[in-house]
Structure 1
């Protein structure tokens, strides 16, 4: 970057500083030049999996290079435009783009929920070559240096983050195609010895992937930038990888890759990208949490290098050498194949603040229908209507609740989506009525590939309207997937999404009913004979954008269109449920995701926990892993442990591939059936708590499944824990993930906390590790002192049966003898909670021997006849002499109670306290 000239600096102020009559703006601009360039190259590696195409991966071979263009024998640097914005909520945005590109570069649309509300950045001081910008409060500042280009983000405690501290900014500019350059220019350029250079450049314009050739029309266009996080050693985020929750240092060729791919039986502890990607990471240390959201949907790599803190370092040699403390620092380098640099810096300071800042950009978790929080039963494939009926009856016979039956691709006519196999499923409406009578639902699959068949109406209509992705020659892109030769709907086109949404109407989707919901699979997109089992990067989308620009957002768009289709089907009245395998930042607005084709091994059960924690802290709370493992046949012990873990994770589905043995919960002997039944019933008992957590995620951006560091941000011991987690703020869950385990070490955080075993009511003080004996029927779950957890006291065949079932309250007292909690309640399926305020939000509090039920949100109203019939108070040190209830109607009643001194537990039963009215319970 050349030194800023005063005229350039003044011009930027003239352009972007508002006049008194205009709305204040937040942007500052400077011209810079790209200096360092890293070139992406890809290599194929790995054996061929049986029944699958070769697995491929990517490495980035880097070589520093000054970005210059040879033109008429002259060298010149390409000017870049850097813009800094302040956004409401302590967010800064940095955009870097070519000042005058040959054509527009791709900027990711549709992810941000609205145009961010900007705040005015004030120029605190300025001198030649530097600029200091501050937000209105003055406690956050951007120090921008011109030569060399660097930005420091500074708080009252000092520099938090430096951008381009390592000088790794690079920006490959778009170039005129080689074949269009004139003979004269070539002759003039030939006057210099550039043959080797031209040969190298030509190789970067075309790259080979086996039989595929990726032609870059305007040459390579990758971008990159480094961020140095001062004092930070713990980083999290950038899903999806089968890796630890805490991000690891990367070495040569080990960068975290964000590139959505269909990877069957993915390897664990691997930084390769799999089905989804969220280019967003969080950094945490004592006293501060930061976020970096790199808004780019092309193939992206992230390199991480942490230098741990050194207590003292010598600043000079000799007997009087001074000693100085050196803070830790983590350097993060983002690299994307194309697009622009568009990065949001979320400055916290707390984890909660960062979650809200990110959701203010990309949206919060959608409020799901209640049924989707129950248990889902799936396999590839339930054979026919008789099979569905038998499996459904099996759950009732064995007294196991479940909510949703799933059908994979075999339910269709030759893998033609929106159709039914007439032999296997001749009467789908009748089958759905069977499920409806049990108050259950059906989910069917709908993938993005469309079988090439002129007699298939979906194909014919899409073909007629040019709704498919095109190849680089202009024809429809054709690839092989489940139906054979297929075309791929271009979901980046708003008209395609609108049309696709219309396919879910009952008139268009013959055989569907209002209890049918959707599963989007294979939407990375998966192309069996494509490079890395996906679409060629030079395929063409709406707006003439190449697939390389938007690959990671393709599945996001399909889920968006599907969710909108289900909403339109109900004329805007009913909430959708859509599960997707591929996802991007903002996918939380449209439904749920899962971790893909895992394997029936203990290691995959164990890795599912950090994978789900990472999704939760990056905004996607409605997530889960296939219970039992999709691939292979789990032993009975593993299956039981997986059900126990899945029951305490947000999305709870059993699933298996077609060549596995049947594994419905009652097929492993009565004892294992009993254990699985108990685990699923525990899930259903906690549904009031689950639903309340989803409401908090929806309105307040609070993750549902939380790593310990989120709930205990000032306890260093929690920062690396990933084998246990908080479910909301009240429950700590430590799934058993080792075979034949007889004891687990459970870390109970918080020096001033007390923790209660939810089964035995035994309690421990916090800030210690406890050895908990476990048998096969043990699920180590602990309730945090100071919390109130609402439960259902009875379990039905599905969530629909439990609407009017009574509640219980489990009150766990803190060391100070107090507790708080909440309950959210609505009709569980419609948007009336949003449009008509039909909901109840109740607050429970216990203090000085009084438990109070009061209204947490006066704007809500919802008629409910449900009652609280049972209350347990854990940690009550003294047996009470009396217990009475005081209702809002003025009636006071004496209540029978049972007290266990050994467990310090008070139990109240046979109560009849309406959940929606104010009341008190007095314990004396």
Structure 2
């Protein structure tokens, strides 16, 4: 085939895939077009023959049982269905977590075992299992196991049901099979004349093992709202009802990782990632449910009347129906009782957010694509010329040689190391893209090696799977195989990735996986992975394994000393341990700006703290007002990156006129001033699993006004942010929760808590406040990058509450290595009480052999809410006096003297000291 013809074919393919990848409803399956979903969803409560539990006993400290269901009477002239026989195993873990596993009874010979997702749960989980030594039987029809934290699990025998309740027969918290909708399609031998194939559009799924779906109902008792199960684009933070009276949208929430361009801003349709974790909340209690299953999942949130009843029953209960195409039941119940307790319980299963390097928390500049080295240099110089800091510049697929990853286009990027060195001299970094599709071309050494070693996913016929993506004909490494993940990790060494340097990091895109000519733009379900696992069984985890292998590659590249930074588009439960994610290919419109907040909040609630949305919108050309508002909001995302499609106009912040440049510069400066606070919050997330960007109700769990507020959010426990989501908006109604005051970050003026405020909207900022009773560390000197700010002094902003008290924290380490795991960090607590500010260490003693020291000082202390007339302070040790002057909130704040400021107290950040107000 001639080169011009190949080029023409590729251009045609790209054109077609761009069109078909944009949202078109008929390109993707609905529940009615998905047989397992349609079957499960059409059942009414208790319509299946009852499932019963028997042979309940203790074995190795776990409860075991046999579940069985008699088949219905066969129709005349039809073969009888086999009896359902399943094995149940129930375990109890520390801190109020219950695990339920249900699988086939493999004593009957079957040709295949069902897939159990490996490598997601923390490896030490079994060490935290509680050894059950006794069971209670309060009545002949049930068995009780005792959990920690005052809860118990009740197994009701016939019909089978599990209820987690407060001990001593108290109120139920969460239950399974209360409505008799549990179904488990067992593997069996195909009968003559049966057609197991499924067809969608032009694609046929062979389904060689037949129907193997699972459905189960889970009820959250005492719940007013449920949250979680990303990823969906939603205008609502709480999950809306998908069935019941008055519900217009009849589709369930879908968890099926897909490449969906320009996704709808408010839809239950699944997009790039899947985390099958849901948590409930009310003013009284919270609970959680996690199903470790990587097959396609569909989830109904059921409203009043979904079962035909009049809605009589518990005043607060939310029923849900979970439907999965394959796998086993490996489910976890979390009892809370508080929302942060549920998040910690979930983190104890799948891990906490990996601690990033400090540069990654700063601002990132990206575009598909920066054309060449000259373009890179020009963009880099533009930030310096306009006094705008940034830390990372990104290169998309066009930087490669013919879209072969780990390569550079020699004409456009002839000196990649020198290009990276020039950025690194300013403390900046580069990120390049590496996707899972490998170009099937003999000139591609990676493809040759993968082919020779048999490292590709296989099609149903046993050949290397061949799909189409950006390079054209492509194959995909089988990342389920640990050996292949190790092989992939080696490709990031400096020897293998020629032209890479220690300041280069990685972006994994298209790893759902995206296949342009595949069913629903992804891999066929009947292709085969390591161990004979069908793709249908692990689809939602493919991107997770790819992310894992890439992060481990960067870890190996740095001899285990350098924290990786890897951004991934696809994700699964546990992805937080390997890096960051973003919300994918959004659009430059106000609806997508607004939906970004509940999307990022939901990711944080399900473990993915390090996330954000493309600032400005990936597709389309944003109005200047929209772009400015997006920068002002995006400056508070945990992951702050601007990104745009190659068909859009250039969007560097200095291209929109001097005034708009100043507004975007100011937004970026806000982020850089708050980097010490953000880095401290990342430390908290890495230890506890509590997200950086939080729904209001996470900090104010008793305040019902916050329960479905997806327009405002908290950053940590100290900062409140309200987005502006309409063009030309002049005012906004803002609800400030709690009983204490809130101080405007711009003006320093105080606003009452527990009420709504109608605020005038200004062009230079969005409404943002610091909560009374908190201390926020900041840096107010701006350099080219965060790296160059490392030794700059700090400012403490103290917002006093009604008791004239406040507290806060600051965490510091070297910003890049793992030495912090061995004690090399500073962690300070600041407390203002009884007119005295004190600094003390909260680092545990004898933590490790390594030390970290810093001569950095505090150059300014800003106190809000201090009574007028205060003029002096005394600092100990040293008995030094310092003046207190009225002034603006910060150097860049309003002109009004709303604060009291101690200038140049010359306090070392690592020392214990006190500052007493006279």
Residue deviations 1:349-406 (CA, integer Å, cap 9, x gap): 1111111111110000000000001110100000000000000000000000000010
> Is the 1:2–1:146 contact (alpha carbons within 8 Å) kept by the matching residues of 2?
no
The equivalent residue for 1:547 is 535
Shift, 1:104, TM fit: 1.1
Distance 1:129 1:736, change over 3 A: same
Give the drift of 1:286: 1.5
Counterpart in the other structure of 1:306: 303
1:112 aligns with 2:103: no
Q: Which residue of 2 aligns with 1:398?
A: 386
Cα distance change of structure 1 residues 3 and 512 upon mapping to structure 2, 3 Å threshold: closer
Q: How does 1:803-842 map to 2 (within 5 A)?
A: 803-834=790-821, 836-842=822-828
How far apart are residue 793 of structure 1 and its match? 2.2
Contact 2:871–2:884 (CA under 8 A) maintained in structure 1 = no
The two structures have a TM-score, normalised by structure 1, of 0.89
In structure 2, the partner of 1:132 is: 144
Q: CA deviation at 1:858?
A: 4.1
1:632 maps onto 2:643 in alignment: no
Per-residue deviation, 1:74? 4.6
> Quick one: which of 146, 156, 159 aligns to 2:172?
159
Query: CA–CA distance in 1 between the matches of 2:380 and 2:311?
Result: 72
Which residue, 91, 95, 105 being the options, matches 2:101?
95
Please list, as runs of the form range in 1=range in 2, the aligned pairs for 1:683-832 lying within 5 A after superposition. Answer: 683-750=671-738, 752-832=739-819
Shift of residue 528, structure 1, vs aligned partner? 0.2
* Structure 1 partner of 2:32: none
1 CA distance for matches of 2:77 and 2:695? 54
Identify the match of residue 295 of structure 1 among 292, 295, 307: 292
Residue aligning to 2:88: 82
1:851-903: CA deviation from partner (whole Å, max 9, x where unpaired)? 0011111446421010001001101124224211113xxx1111122136986
Q: What's the CA shift for 1:120? A: 3.2
What is the CA distance between 1:34 and its match in structure 2? 5.0
CA distance in 1, matches of 2:227, 2:736: 21
Superposed, 1:189-588 pairs within 5 Å as 202-203=194-195, 205-243=196-234, 244-251=236-243, 253-307=250-304, 326-588=314-576
Residue in structure 2 matched with residue 677 of structure 1 by the alignment: 665
3-state SS in 2 of match to 1:603: helix
The reply to whether residue 883 of structure 1 matches residue 873 of structure 2 is yes
- 1:907, 1:832 → 2: CA distance? 35
**1:148 aligned residue:** 159
| Superposed CA offset, 1:156-204 (max 9, x none) | 541122211111000011111335xxxxxxxxxxxxxxxxxx6xxx34x
Mapped partners of 2:74, 2:813: distance in 1: 61
Report runs of 4+ in structure 1 exceeding 3 Å deviation.
1-5, 65-76, 126-129, 306-309, 858-861, 900-904
> Is 1:32 aligned to 2:45, yes or no?
no
* Contact preservation (8 Å) 2:871, 2:885: no
Check whether the contact 1:226–1:331 (CA below 8 A) recurs between aligned residues: yes
1:514 alignment partner, SS class: coil
Mark the CA change 1:745 to 1:75 in structure 2 (over 3 Å): closer, same or farther. closer
- CA-based RMSD of the aligned residues comes to 2.1
Say whether the 8 Å CA contact 2:594–2:725 is kept in structure 1. Answer: yes
| Alignment check: 8 A CA contact 1:401 1:680 kept | yes
- Report if aligned partners of 1:806, 1:869 keep a CA contact under 8 Å in 2: yes
Following the alignment from structure 1 to structure 2, what is the Cα–Cα distance between the partners of residues 669 and 401?
18
CA distance in 2, matches of 1:502, 1:568: 8
Distance 1:253 1:472 in 2: 34
Alignment size in residue pairs: 842
Distance 1:405 1:161, change over 3 A: same
- TM (norm. structure 2) is 0.89
* Structure 2: distance between partners of 1:388 and 1:826: 31
From the superposition, tell whether residues 68 and 853 of structure 1 become closer, same or farther in structure 2 (CA, over 3 Å). Answer: farther
Deviation at 1:253? 4.0
Q: Which runs of 5+ in 2 are unaligned?
A: 1-48, 244-248, 889-895
Measured in 2, the distance between the counterparts of 1:288 and 1:72 equals 50
Instruction: Give the conservation status (yes or no) of the 8 Å contact 2:174–2:287.
Output: no
1:326 shift after superposition? 4.5
Superposed counterparts of 1:658-673, under 5 Å: 658-673=646-661
Q: Cα gap change, 1:308/1:158 in structure 2, threshold over 3 Å: closer, same or farther?
A: farther
Partners of 2:362 and 2:640 within 8 A in 1 = yes
- Cα deviation code 1:234-255 (max 9, x no counterpart): 0000000001210010037410
Unmatched runs of 5 consecutive residues or more in structure 1: 18-24, 36-64, 180-197, 316-324
Contact 2:51 2:68 in 1 (8 A): no
**Which moved further from structure 2: 228-237 or 593-602?**
228-237
| In structure 2, C-alpha distance between the alignment counterparts of 1:68 and 1:677, rounded to whole Å | 72
Partner of 1:182: none
Q: Which moved more, 1:858-867 or 1:422-431?
A: 858-867
C-alpha deviations, 1:589-619, integer Å up to 9, x for none? 0000000000000110000000000000101
Q: Is the 1:67–1:77 Cα contact (8 Å) retained in structure 2?
A: no
